[in-house]
Amino acid sequence: MPTIDEIAARHGFSADAGRSAYAALQAGGFSQAQFNHPELGGFGQWMSGGMMMIGDMFNNGLKWRVGALLEELSQHREPAPAAGFQPAGGMAWSGNWWPAELGSPSTSGSQNDMAYAWFPQVGKLLVRLSGDVFAFDTGPLTIYGVQQQQGSGADSIVLNTSSGPMSLLGLSRA
């Protein structure tokens, strides 16, 4: 199996750009990525299935190369590095920012100082704001995505749900 560095080189990127893209994929559960790296066109977003945006929006050649890199890397999973901290409350953590016992999120992502992960199997949405993690009870609600709007904190987060858009503040803390 090729390494991340080899995959990056095959697409014409440095090892650093490849590792940056891979870290963004890890944070997005390997189905989406938000990244910021100069070789990848600056700020960008990718989702499996074809959605691709980069800051260098008129550079279609770069856009196709970045998309191909992310597509290939999304199929290449390496064990996540161990977290460098011990969580409170006796929870074991995965290589990500959420507890391992929650399993894999059905959807996750990040933007600026906010990240989210939704675990429908246990009816929980975790939101990380500026390093602090908050848990919310989602019950039977289906979450299709999370948006961060102007502002800061929980009041700037809007959920795209099976019941329509709703504020994060509409959920009960778990």
Per-residue pLDDT tens over the stretch 116-155:
888 888 889 888 887 788 899 988 888 777 776 666 566 6
How far apart (Å, rounded) are the C-alpha atoms in residues 27 and 39?
19
Tokens of 154: 């929980």
* Residue-level pLDDT at 151: 60
| CB contact at 8 A, 144 and 161 | yes
Higher pLDDT, 47 or 109: 47
Residues of the chain with pLDDT > 70: what percent? 84
How far apart (Å, rounded) are the C-alpha atoms in residues 126 and 67?
28
Instruction: Quick: pLDDT tens for 3-17.
Output: 999 999 999 999 999
Higher pLDDT, 102 or 62: 62
* Residue-level pLDDT at 92: 42
Burial class (CB in 10 A: 0-12, 13-18, 19+), 15: middle
Q: Inform me whether the pLDDT recorded for 90 exceeds 50.
A: no
* Residue-level pLDDT at 150: 64
CA 82 to chain centre: 18
Among 124, 126, 132, residue whose Cα is nearest residue 152: 132
* Residue-level pLDDT at 152: 59
Tokens of 65: 């190369």
Q: Inform me whether the pLDDT recorded for 85 exceeds 70.
A: no
Among 72, 59, 82, 96, residue whose Cα is nearest residue 21: 72
Q: Quick one: average pLDDT of 60-84?
A: 77
